[in-house]
Amino acid sequence: MRILDHRFNSEGELRRKLEMKEFARDVIDSTIDRLRRERWLDDDRFAAAYVRTRVRKGIGLLRVKRELVAAGVEGDTIARALSESLPEHDERAAALASARKRLAVLRRRDDDASIREKLVAYLFRQGYDSSVAVDVVRELIA
């Protein structure tokens, strides 16, 4: 319960944390079953909240998907969370806003020759699709 006190966890994350604390497998299984029944553990709710939070912070959908997979969330749960949590999400607009913010920082620190490469690399790391990243940078630099 202390683990769940800090933030929502996926079932996979909680299972890994309990295994690291060297609990027996049958104890972990029964605990997870009980938490699921009592709605303390719900991967659908976890994924939806995670998607909304990360996208609000300017993280791209590709990175959000990778992070949810790493958290042990199943693919269909991820797809459902993305479609239900972000019905009107415009990935290009989000990438453009993120790139504008980063461009201001890069212009203060770097010369114009390296800005384009650094901005594209930044958008890749943030989880935006390569075609979106290149298109957005092309628009901003022009």
Q: How many domains does the chain have?
A: 2
Summarised one tens digit per residue, pLDDT across range 101-118 is: 999 888 888 777 788 899
Say if residues 73 and 47 touch (Cβ distance below 8 Å). Answer: yes
Looking at the structure, tell me whether residues 39 and 56 fall in a common domain: yes
pTM, entire model: 0.83
Q: CA 79 to CA 141: how far, in whole Å?
A: 33
Domain boundary among 85, 107, 127: 85
Q: Which CATH number covers residue 58?
A: 1.10.10.10
Whether 51 and 75 share a structural domain: yes
Domain limits for position 7: 2-85
The CA distance from 79 to 55, in Å, is: 15
- pLDDT the model gives residue 114: 84
Q: What is the pLDDT of residues 42-90, one digit of tens each?
A: 999 999 999 999 999 999 999 999 999 999 999 999 999 999 988 788 8
Name the residue type at position 69. V
Best CA proximity match to 33, nearest among 53, 56, 15, 9: 15
Under DSSP, the state recorded for 71 is: T
